């Protein structure tokens, strides 16, 4: 499958077959890495890593993935370049596109990453915006595949802030790949109706079911429960209010028991605020899987770079 030259801004832009191809490529690259085999598909490629928001997993995954494949990553914080401050995003994109072969962006506005893709002329990868987090979803799905041997037909329940970038992106990815997807959240934190309707169209093709609920019993039959911090970066002033309305939705032993399945697992995109969205006891019970998921950020991000920029 040829994804050469494509940007990776949201999973909306990719077909189910293309997403599965990226997961298969990631699994292959992971297997090779475990055997000490790295590649040179990015040899001679220079990659700009733009970070408006700091990160552990995203930065390390892009850096190591790039170096493993023979490329050169260049970290650019918001203090290193003039992006959107002294220089328009469009002009910065045109400069970077003439010097770099690919650009990663992690920041606030989805509009910014879309402008970078439009004006740079090189592949641009979304390392996170306030709206979408597509590279995380690939890591989550690779982890589910490793745990269950399949994706289609699984039931995934996202618990917490149902209108953040993770809930949005998981709903898009799940409905494209036939995963039954539930958002369990208070009504004031439900996703936008327009996105639900779009995902319902994806679900018609894949056989996926979507459920949006504020009832804890929605966890019933879940193969995997997913949670995230209650307050996203940039929303710190809302922390007290979020804790108050989300306390009943903490992932604890009682909530997991409602799945009525002994094999239900927990996923978390990290960092975790233990005692808020998840108890320490439950987090530690599933820590091995959660840190597999964190490691899988690197293998899946490497796959995205190799598929869209590399010489396969």
Q: Which CATH number is 184's domain given?
A: 3.40.50.1370
Find residue 225's DSSP bridge partners: 157, 266
Q: Is residue 86 part of a domain?
A: yes
Helices in the chain by DSSP H: which ranges? 16-34, 57-68, 89-99, 110-120, 134-148, 165-177, 193-206, 239-246, 253-257, 280-285, 287-309
310 vs 312: CA distance, rounded Å: 6
Q: Is residue 5 part of a domain?
A: no
Say whether 106 counts as a known binding-site residue. yes
Are 47 and 166 in a shared domain?
no
Q: How many residues does the chain have?
A: 312
Say whether 56 counts as a known binding-site residue. yes
Say whether 163 counts as a known binding-site residue. no
Q: How confident is the model at residue 233 (pLDDT cuts 50, 70, 90)?
A: low
Percentage of the chain with pLDDT > 70?
99
pLDDT at residue 259 in the model = 98
Please report the DSSP string for 282-308 in residue order: HHHHTHHHHHHHHHHHHHHHHHHHHHH
Angle of CA points 248, 252, 255, to nearest 5°: 70
- Give the number of domains in the chain: 2
Q: Is residue 101 part of a domain?
A: yes
Are 143 and 97 in a shared domain?
no
**First-residue to last-residue Cα distance in the chain:** 10
Are 144 and 287 in a shared domain?
yes
Q: Is residue 94 part of a domain?
A: yes
Q: Is residue 49 part of a domain?
A: yes
Q: Is residue 6 part of a domain?
A: no
Active site residues: 106, 133, 136, 228, 269, 297
Are 193 and 52 in a shared domain?
no
CA 125, 128, 132, 137 torsion: positive or negative? positive
146 vs 100: CA distance, rounded Å: 34
Say whether 269 counts as a known binding-site residue. yes
Are 273 and 150 in a shared domain?
yes
> Taking a C-beta distance cutoff of 8 angstroms, is the pair 185, 162 a contact?
yes
Q: Is residue 4 part of a domain?
A: no
Are 126 and 175 in a shared domain?
no
Are 144 and 254 in a shared domain?
yes
66 vs 306: CA distance, rounded Å: 9
Closest CA to 26 of 186, 142, 116, 121: 142
pLDDT at residue 10 in the model = 98
Say whether 136 counts as a known binding-site residue. yes
Are 57 and 101 in a shared domain?
yes
Are 43 and 143 in a shared domain?
no
pLDDT at residue 238 in the model = 76
- Domain around 301: 11-133+297-309
298 vs 139: CA distance, rounded Å: 8
Are 127 and 140 in a shared domain?
no
Say whether 297 counts as a known binding-site residue. yes
Rg of the chain on CA atoms, in Å: 19
Least confident range from 145-159, 219-233, 257-271: namely 219-233
Q: Is residue 261 part of a domain?
A: yes
Closest CA to 233 of 15, 59, 54, 110: 54
pLDDT at residue 300 in the model = 98
pLDDT in tens, 47-105: 999 999 999 999 999 999 999 999 999 999 988 988 878 899 999 999 999 999 999 99
Q: How many CA atoms lie within 13 A of 268 on its CB side?
A: 28
* Average pLDDT of the residues of the chain: 96
Cα dihedral 101→299→182→150 (10° resolution): 130
Provide φ and ψ at 266, rounded to 5°: -110, 135
In the numeric block, which tokens belong to residue 53?
Answer: 């928001």
Are 155 and 289 in a shared domain?
yes
Are 184 and 45 in a shared domain?
no
pLDDT at residue 118 in the model = 98
């Amino acid at each position: 499958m040829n994804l050469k030259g494509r940007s990776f801004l949201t999973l909306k832009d990719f077909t189910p077959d293309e997403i599965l191809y990226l997961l298969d490529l990631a699994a292959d690259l992971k297997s090779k890495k475990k055997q000490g085999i790295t590649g040179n598909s990015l040899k001679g490629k220079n990659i700009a890593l733009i970070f408006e928001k700091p990160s552990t997993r995203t930065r390390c995954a892009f850096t190591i993935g790039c170096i493993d494949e023979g490329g050169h990553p260049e970290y650019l914080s918001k203090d290193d370049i003039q992006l959107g401050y002294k220089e328009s995003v469009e002009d910065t994109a045109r400069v970077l596109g003439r010097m770099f072969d690919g650009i990663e962006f992690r920041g606030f506005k989805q509009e910014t990453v879309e402008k970078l893709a439009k004006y740079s002329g090189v592949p641009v990868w979304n390392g996170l915006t306030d709206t979408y987090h597509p590279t995380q979803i690939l890591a989550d799905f690779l982890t589910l595949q490793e745990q269950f041997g399949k994706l289609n037909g699984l039931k995934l329940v996202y618990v917490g802030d149902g209108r953040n970038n993770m809930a949005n992106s998981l709903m898009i990815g799940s409905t494209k790949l036939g995963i039954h997807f539930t958002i369990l959240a208070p009504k004031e934190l439900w996703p936008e109706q327009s996105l639900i309707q779009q995902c319902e169209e994806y679900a018609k093709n894949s056989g996926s079911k979507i459920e949006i609920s504020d009832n804890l019993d929605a966890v019933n039959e879940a193969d995997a429960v997913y949670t995230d911090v209650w307050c996203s970066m940039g929303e710190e002033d809302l922390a007290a209010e979020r804790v108050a309305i989300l306390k009943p939705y903490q992932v604890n032993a009682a909530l997991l028991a409602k799945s009525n399945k002994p094999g239900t697992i927990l996923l978390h995109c990290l960092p975790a605020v233990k005692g808020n969205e998840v108890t320490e006891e439950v987090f530690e019970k599933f820590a091995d899987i959660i840190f597999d998921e964190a490691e899988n950020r690197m293998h899946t991000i490497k796959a995205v770079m190799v598929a869209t920029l590399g010489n396969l």
